[in-house]
Amino acid sequence: MAICIAVYFLISSLAGADQNPEHPSEFRLSPQQKAGLLLNRHQYNEALDAYKSLLKENDAGSYVFRGLVRAYQGANRLEEAGAFIRDYLSGHSGSSAGQYGLGYYYYLEGNDTKAREHFEKAIRLNEQNALAWNNLGASLSRTKSYTFAIEKVKQAIRMDPYNPIFYNNLRRIYQETGKTGLFFADYKHYVRDGPKLVAQGYGRVIAKTLRQEAFKSFSQGNLDGAIKKFTETAKIYEEIGHLPGLAATYFGLGALYEEKGDADEAQKYYKRVLSINPNHIQAQRKVK
């Protein structure tokens, strides 16, 4: 039973396997990161003040406007976001970020015609505005213009291959078309031909999905199913060279095999963890 509980929490905690293991002090966060932290904590009014302060300092990128609109939405004041950004644009008509922000407001309001109008304006003002490309794709997908939607989101990925939002959005669109396999086909293409950063972006989304399936199998008492999904997850991490995720997955496999009663196989995976991270305390304790 103790092992079973440990495996349960282990698998659920693996959702953070793709995150940066370092947690910087709030004192070292940039003003934009602090605003985002307030937003994630659901401190919406404080987040609004922080984002508006960034606008006053002319630090008005598209992510600032995205955060601002989301803060208004969280505070149940979404309508005010449209008025605020329109007022901003009256003095900053050439702001690609501002046009994106107004488009994002209309997108959340469900007005795809107006949303696309402003996303397209944002792109005309700055072709490198990755958030505008991504949300243009998201808006097109809502009207089932899937071919164009996929094209726009892939353009966002080319502009900013680091952002997981874009890969998740692309997978969702493929899922809506009933052709999720195409997302995996894209992934294999980038693993083979590069760029590596894009392969990693696709791979992390696939790994996250597999982990969720592993957790579901485990919660249903299907250890073999969980092991199968974790093995597939490990293969993805091997292909993209993501060592933190691979170490966490190997440890998960060790715990699952231990739960199954296969001590030799469990030891094999615990040793693999240590081959990646010799200082992994839990794996050290498990190895005979």
The candidate with the shortest Cα–Cα distance to 197, out of 233, 168, 160, 226, is: 160
> What is the rounded average pLDDT of the residues 98-105?
98
Residue 238's pLDDT is: 97
> What is the rounded average pLDDT of the residues 40-58?
93
**Residue 205 in this model has a pLDDT that exceeds 90:** yes
CATH code, domain carrying 186: 1.25.40.10
Residue 20's pLDDT is: 47
Residue 288's pLDDT is: 72
Total Cβ atoms within 10 A of residue 21: 7
Residue 10's pLDDT is: 56
Is 3 a member of any domain?
Answer: no
The token pair that represents 21 in the structure block: 């293991």
Is 244 a member of any domain?
Answer: yes
Number of structural domains, the chain? Answer: 1
**Residue 182 in this model has a pLDDT that exceeds 50:** yes
SS3 for 22?
coil
Residue 211's pLDDT is: 94
Rounded CA-CA distance 258/30 in Å is 44
Residue 26's pLDDT is: 55
Residue 57's pLDDT is: 76
Residues of the chain with pLDDT > 90, as a percent, come to 87
Residue 224's pLDDT is: 96
Q: Which has more pLDDT, 15 or 211?
A: 211
Q: What domain range includes position 190? A: 180-288
Side chain identity, residue 162: Y
Residues whose CB falls within 8 Å of the CB of residue 46, separated by 6 or more in sequence, listed in order? 38
> What is the rounded average pLDDT of the residues 174-198?
96
Residue 60's pLDDT is: 77
Which band of pLDDT confidence, cut at 50, 70 and 90, is reported for residue 87? very high
Is 57 a member of any domain?
Answer: no
> What is the rounded average pLDDT of the residues 73-83?
97
Is 197 a member of any domain?
Answer: yes
User: 11-37: per-residue pLDDT in tens?
Assistant: 544 545 565 444 445 568 899 999 999
Size (the chain), residues: 288
> Which segments of 44-111 does DSSP mark as H helices, in order?
44-56, 62-74, 78-91, 96-109
**Residue 274 in this model has a pLDDT that exceeds 70:** yes
Is 272 a member of any domain?
Answer: yes
Residue 7's pLDDT is: 55
Is 121 a member of any domain?
Answer: no
Residue 11's pLDDT is: 53
CB 130 within 8 A of CB 160: yes
The candidate with the shortest Cα–Cα distance to 70, out of 85, 81, 59, is: 81
- The pLDDT mean for the chain works out to 91
For the entire predicted model, the pTM comes to 0.88
Is 30 a member of any domain?
Answer: no
Residue 28's pLDDT is: 84
Is 251 a member of any domain?
Answer: yes
